[in-house]
Structure 1
Amino acid sequence: MFKIRKATENDTPIIFDLIKKLAVYEKLENDVITSVEELKENIFSNNFAKVLIAEEDENPVGFALYFYNFSTFVGKPGIYLEDLFVEPEHRGKGYGKSLLIELAKIAAAKNCGRFEWSVLDWNTPSIEFYKALGAKPMEEWTVFRLDKKGISDLAGK
């Protein structure tokens, strides 16, 4: 039996575990510097993000972490999907698609103008999966990032 539910504060260790598994899949395991406590504070106390948990027979098998942004051109909020992950042994069952459908329903209910996410260039299976759902790559855009040091450096200038 499969279901999707909103994460609660008690799910923070599960979310952290799934984040670590995602990092291994993306070959970025050394980039995970957060903690259960920090996630709990920033997701559930500060409300910076929301999480959906995918469960099979009441066991967590995946998650989607998202937050709201705003499009000045569209003049509406949007959903930005930061992470979507389904454990490898549970892929091919429609769970990833179900998480995306649930997020699309949330976006529609909130009258969002966009639903966006990024994918690593090498992740061909995910790219093909997203295209099959009707998502379009934004090839004319380049993502820029300042890390903590970059933010500090720029803020100090």
Structure 2
Amino acid sequence: MSTLTFRDATEDDVALILEFIRKLADYEHRLDEVIATEDELRKWIFEKKQAEVIFALEDGKEIGFALFFLSFSTYISNVNLHLEDLFIDPEYRGKGYGKALLKKLAKIVVDRGYGRFEWTCLAWNKPSIDFYLSLGAKQKDWNVFHLTGDELRDLAND
């Protein structure tokens, strides 16, 4: 019988965090967009404490991760736990580990007194959307926008 446990990432895990980020990006057909480095992850996650990472472990082996950070909701005047990335290695899927990881994050939200647990999902990822809906999550009518690279610099310098 396999045992699922969780552990918080430490600074020694930076290479493993980047490995999981790349696995997720590959699954999302966006590996070419990953420019993250170990040094940048170390700086923003561990030195500046702008995000947190939890690993899911089966029998002591890291088989998945969640990376999250806080945002603020003016409507509820409280912070949100925003899940940026969640990934379970393909050979460990179908065992309830993704749901267990989401439950762990939900418990963090409740225990810390945050107001909301939120995340985004790619529109084409129907298996994940169906999974999230089965948990009681609601799709909101928001479109996500972002600026990066030249467009970001152009706006900043306009």
Fold-level similarity (TM above 0.5): yes
Distance of 2:26 and 2:115 partners within structure 1? 32
Instruction: Give, as a single letter, the amino acid of the residue that structure 2 aligns with 1:94.
Output: G
Measure the CA separation in 1 of the matches of 2:60 and 2:22: 20
Q: Given the two structures, how large is their TM-score scaled by the length of structure 1?
A: 0.96
State the one-letter code of the partner of 1:67. Answer: F
**How much does 1:113 deviate?**
1.5
Superposition misfits of 4+ residues, deviation over 3 angstroms: none
Tell me the amino acid that sits aligned with residue 59 of structure 1: K
Counterpart-to-counterpart distance in 2, 1:150 and 1:47: 27
Counterpart secondary structure, 1:97: helix
Summarize the alignment of residues 34-45 of structure 1 with structure 2, pairs less than 5 Å apart: 34-45=36-47
Give the deviation of 1:69 after TM superposition: 0.7
Structure 2 gaps, min length 5: none
Distance in 1, matches of 2:53 and 2:132, equals 20
Map 1:2-151 → 2, pairs under 5 A:
2-138=4-140, 140-151=141-152
Larger deviation, residues 17-26 vs 106-115: 106-115
Partner Cα separation in structure 2 for residue 15 and residue 9 of structure 1: 10
- Deviation, 1:148, is 3.0
RMSD of the alignment, in Å?
A: 0.9
For residues 60-119 of structure 1, give each alpha carbon's deviation from its aligned partner in whole angstroms, at most 9, with x where no partner exists.
110000001110010111100000000110001111111111111111112211111000
SS in 1 for 2:5: strand
SS of the equivalent of 1:144 reads: coil
Shift of 1:25: 0.4
In structure 2, C-alpha distance between the alignment counterparts of 1:2 and 1:141, rounded to whole Å: 34
Aligned length: 156
Tell me how far apart the structure 1 counterparts of residues 29 and 40 of structure 2 sit (CA, whole Å): 22
Q: Distance in 2 between matches of 1:121 and 1:50?
A: 25
Amino acid in the other structure paired with 2:143: T
Shift of 1:151: 2.3
The two structures have a TM-score, normalised by structure 2, of 0.95
1:142 counterpart letter in structure 2: N
C-alpha distance in structure 2 between counterparts of 1:58 and 1:148, whole Å: 39
